[in-house]
């Protein structure tokens, strides 16, 4: 894996605050040390230096990330980043000095050679701090990538826990259909094949539209076994491209058929926006429940909703119907 200095806005804010405070304190100390003016002017001078060093750091590091590093081997990235950090301190201190001098904030005569060495020293100090920042960001990124890999592996294991009863029942149906209705058996085999291909796809998040396609294949197979099950769709097309954990609706539809309507009844699949949330519901008019014991499917769905889209699952009885509702933010 390749890493480079990719700092978030929050990180840049922390760096900026640290830079002006450190610069202000250092400026005050130097002002007192060389008797160049009041401590307040020294503090203000340090803030100016820190601000310009930060500005050059922001520009140089982003320029390096976008346009320079990609043209060099990974082994040179640290050296290049250090070089641009040095330039940030060098040119930032020169700019700060010119501002302070031209506005007469601190009046002090400094030999040109000493002044140049001071700029170089500040550049080296900035490079050292940049090197530390480089590794702090990389270590955090490595940790984040490892955590994401573990979560992804966990989610994949949850996705692949397919209900074996559905597989066995479908195979039994196919065995019967090959004798009594070969054309329907062929259509069912093709549908079942596409269903399996969809559910073992590598994507953990899929669009609502694709999830509905999976559900339709599942229902097609189930209606062969239970032809008296009626399913209606009421989905707002504006949420078709919203991404949800794969098999979210399929698990709820399976639950509605298995524990709700069973072999006869109605199932409604709904999807709509409400305020800043996306709502997905599976409703059935089965006999209902007094208390649900969550099985593997519902527990896995709750976990995946929380980890992938910051969503949640709830279920309740309303108007003599059982409602399973998924709620997730539009921009999770």
Beta bridge partners of 206: 244
pLDDT less than 70: residues of the chain: 1-7, 33-37, 108, 145-165, 202, 290-292, 332
12-70: pLDDT as tens digits:
887 888 888 888 887 787 777 666 667 888 888 889 998 999 999 889 988 888 888 88
Q: Residue 2's pLDDT is what?
A: 45
Could you tell me if residue 230 is inside a domain?
yes
Q: How far apart are CA 69 and CA 77, in angstroms?
A: 6
Q: Residue 279's pLDDT is what?
A: 96
Same domain membership, residue 211 and residue 125:
no
Same domain membership, residue 198 and residue 135:
no
Q: How far apart are CA 91 and CA 164, in angstroms?
A: 67
Same domain membership, residue 279 and residue 295:
yes
Same domain membership, residue 57 and residue 147:
yes
Q: Residue 162's pLDDT is what?
A: 56
Q: Residue 146's pLDDT is what?
A: 67
Could you tell me if residue 210 is inside a domain?
yes
Which of 158, 192, 216 is the endpoint of a domain?
A: 158
Q: Residue 1's pLDDT is what?
A: 40
Domain range spanning residue 305?
164-329
Q: Is the dihedral of CA 111, 114, 119, 125 positive or negative?
A: negative
Q: How far apart are CA 332 and CA 325, in angstroms?
A: 17
Which of 133, 158, 183 is the endpoint of a domain?
A: 158
Q: Residue 6's pLDDT is what?
A: 60
pTM for the model stands at 0.55
Q: Is the dihedral of CA 281, 286, 291, 296 positive or negative?
A: negative
How many domains does one find in the chain? 2
CATH number, domain containing residue 252? 3.30.565.10
């Amino acid at each position: 894996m390749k890493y480079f200095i990719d700092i978030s806005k929050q990180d840049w804010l922390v760096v900026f605050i640290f830079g002006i405070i450190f610069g202000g304190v250092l400026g005050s100390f130097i002002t007192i040390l060389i008797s160049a003016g009041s401590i307040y002017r020294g503090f203000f001078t340090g803030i100016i230096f820190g601000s310009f060093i930060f500005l050059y750091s922001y520009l140089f590091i982003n320029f390096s990330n976008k346009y320079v590093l990609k043209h060099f081997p990974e082994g040179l990235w640290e050296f290049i980043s250090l070089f641009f950090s040095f330039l940030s301190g060098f040119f930032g201190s020169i700019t700060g000095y010119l501002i302070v001098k031209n506005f007469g904030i601190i009046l002090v005569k400094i030999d040109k050679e000493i002044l140049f060495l001071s700029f170089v020293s500040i550049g080296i100090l900035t490079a050292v701090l940049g090197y530390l920042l480089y590794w702090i960001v990389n270590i955090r990124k490595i940790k984040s990538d490892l955590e994401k890999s573990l979560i992804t592996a966990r989610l994949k294991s949850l996705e692949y826990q397919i209900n074996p009863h559905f597989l066995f029942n479908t195979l039994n149906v196919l065995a019967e259909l090959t004798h009594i209705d070969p054309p329907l058996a062929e259509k069912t085999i093709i549908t079942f094949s596409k269903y399996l291909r969809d559910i073992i796809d590598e994507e953990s998040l899929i669009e609502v539209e694709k999830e509905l396609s999976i559900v339709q294949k599942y229902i097609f197979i189930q209606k062969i076994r239970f032809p008296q099950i009626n399913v209606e769709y009421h989905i707002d097309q504006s949420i078709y491209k919203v991404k949800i954990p794969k098999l979210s609706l399929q698990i709820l539809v399976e639950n509605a058929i298995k524990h709700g309507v069973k072999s006869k009844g109605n199932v409604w699949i709904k999807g709509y926006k409400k305020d800043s949330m996306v709502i997905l519901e599976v409703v059935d008019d089965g006999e209902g429940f007094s208390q649900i014991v969550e099985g593997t499917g519902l527990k896995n769905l709750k976990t995946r909703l929380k980890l992938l889209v910051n969503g949640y699952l709830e279920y309740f009885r309303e108007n003599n119907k059982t409602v399973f509702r998924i709620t997730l933010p539009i921009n999770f």
